[in-house]
Amino acid sequence: MAADGGKLSVYGPVSMRRVVIVEEPNQSYRWIAIDQGTRQFLMRMSDLHLLRDICFRLEWKVVDVKRCDK
């Protein structure tokens, strides 16, 4: 492990991507994973649990889930 807690690779320290999941209820793919640092849209899905599972498998840290108030 690196001194900052990140993983090491042959290319140096690897930082974990931190994502925020946001709900857009009027879209067919209503859940969006957004990079917390760059604000890029990374992935859209219709199922929140599936999106969270994929983020976990990609070793992305989900820092928040923002639901739309209806």
CA distance 57 to 51: 10
Tell whether the model's pLDDT for residue 8 goes beyond 90: no
Tell whether the model's pLDDT for residue 65 goes beyond 70: yes
pLDDT of residue 16: 81
Report the predicted TM-score, pTM, of the whole model to 2 decimal places. 0.73
CA distance 59 to 53: 10
Coil, helix or strand for 29? coil
Q: Mean of the pLDDT values across residues 31-47?
A: 95
Calculate ∠ Cα 36-38-43, nearest 5°: 70
Amino acid of residue 67: R
Cβ contact 53:19 at 8 Å: no
